[in-house]
Amino acid sequence: MAAVDIREYDPSRDRAGTEAVDRECDVGPTGGMSLHADLLGDPVARIRHSPDYLMLVAETLGPGGRIIVGIIRGTVKSVATGKSCPGAHAVASVGYILGLRVAPSHRRMGLALRLVQRLEQWFERMGAEYAYMATDKSNEASLRLFTVRCGYSKFRTPSLLVHPVHAHRLRVPRRAAVFRLGARDAERLYNARFAHVEFFPADIGAVLGNQLSIGTFLAVIDDGSDGRREWRGAERFLACPPASWALASLWDCGGVFRLELRGASRLRRAAAAATRALDRAARWMRVPSVPDFFRPFSGWFAYGLAGDGPDASIAAEALFATFVNMARGRAAAVAVEVAACDPLRRRIPHWRRLSCTEDLWCMKRLGGIEESDGWDWSRSPPGFSIFVDPREV
């Protein structure tokens, strides 16, 4: 077996090889089908919006010369740890691992482990205190690699909720009024409400101002006392917030990659097409139609979901229904990821077959660094909220 070298990705000569590995490694098996992601010809598309990023490739000698047989991507950023005690380390530098792929011909040779270790070394050089990754809890190979061989611990189990986009509109609760916020007001609200929420990025302004960020929206519930409020700016909102509200932003994942569900039978494709045709012809019937997931499609991601008040979950429902309605003709599905114990998730509309009720995040401390007070974020209990950075979706 030829030796395998690991080096940094070179866009001038590695694009075709990395695309080939990505194509061989479809993810998300569902009833005999697999989900394929196309990065639109840019292998670093999923990480180049982050402040610091790196892509590594594993290369070996093949019959026709040097070939790429493995890839891994990673980013480093500063985030809130969820610890708000006076004098505590409320912010940490973390490395995020995503896009680990090994060609089927070179699996079970320790290559994935080598890729992870090389990326962790870069994390440490960049000053990262922790490394984390996300995977499906049913991905046994990935879990064995990270928890058994790489020393990661199971950390959080957020839920990924997905709703398809139909020809008809979803109903928005009548008690809810939805406002679109300017970037400055959005940043002000997020900094005020998310200062100590886990994984809240220090560069939130860059996220909200990114070209892929569609906008930030606020839903307010009419409680019958003062009617629906008008948006009068972040300062007034923070000084006297409504009784129940919810906040979230939208990200266009279609600007980075397209998805495609492969392996569907002709019968399943025909049945899905029939639901779409009926939905278009008779929208008043509100047919739960299935978008054409069997061709490349784009999706939107709702991030930064927050809220407060006895009817905050209704406000969250209004936001998500509004997002799905906005996506008609522009995306095939809208998704949001929320903490397992977040009360806002109760009324968010979603399809169970498209969603993942228990995603799995794993984390470990890097370099044997010890906090002065002995606190270890990777072993801390979960909070009610979590901020999912759309740049890492």
**What does the alpha-carbon distance between residue 163 and residue 309 come to, in Å, rounded to a whole number?**
25
pLDDT, tens digit (0-9, with 9 covering 90-100), for 90-131: 899 999 999 899 998 899 899 999 999 999 999 999 999 999
The residue among 128 and 384 whose pLDDT is bigger is 128
The 8-class DSSP code of residue 166 comes to P
Domain edges within the chain: 4-157+361-373, 162-347
85: Cβ–Cβ under 8 A, 6 or more apart, which residues? Answer: none
CATH of 162-347, picked from 3.40.630, 2.60.120, 1.20.58, 3.40.50, is 3.40.630
Confidence of residue 229 (pLDDT cuts 50, 70, 90): low
Is CATH 2.60.40.10 the right assignment for the domain spanning 4-157+361-373? Answer: no
Confidence of residue 29 (pLDDT cuts 50, 70, 90): very low
Question: pTM above the 0.75 mark?
Answer: yes
Confidence of residue 22 (pLDDT cuts 50, 70, 90): confident
pLDDT, tens digit (0-9, with 9 covering 90-100), for 339-382: 988 999 989 999 998 998 778 999 999 975 555 456 789 888 88
**CA nearest neighbour of 217 among 257, 263, 165, 181:** 181
Residue 373 three-state SS: coil
Averaged pLDDT of the chain:
89
**What does the alpha-carbon distance between residue 295 and residue 97 come to, in Å, rounded to a whole number?**
28
Q: Side chain identity at 43, as an amino acid letter?
A: P
N-terminal to C-terminal alpha carbon distance within the chain: 35
The fraction of the chain above a pLDDT of 70, given in percent, is 93
Residue 155: predicted pLDDT: 94
- Give CA separation, 56 vs 47, 98, 168, 319, 364, in Å: 12, 11, 44, 38, 21
**What does the alpha-carbon distance between residue 101 and residue 141 come to, in Å, rounded to a whole number?**
12
**What are all long-range contacts of 222-228, with beta carbons under 8 Å and residues at least 24 apart?**
222/175, 222/176, 222/177, 223/311, 228/177
DSSP β-bridge partners for residue 300: 252, 334
User: Comparing 4-157+361-373 with 162-347, is the CATH topology the same?
Assistant: yes
- Strand boundaries in 42-158, DSSP class E: 52-62, 65-80, 91-102, 130-136, 153-156
The residue among 57 and 380 whose pLDDT is bigger is 57
The residue among 222 and 273 whose pLDDT is bigger is 273
* Helix-then-strand count for the chain, H and E: 8, 16
Residue 376: predicted pLDDT: 86
Confidence of residue 43 (pLDDT cuts 50, 70, 90): confident
**CA nearest neighbour of 220 among 190, 243, 186:** 243
pLDDT, tens digit (0-9, with 9 covering 90-100), for 152-167: 999 999 999 999 999 9
Mean pLDDT of 222-240: 78
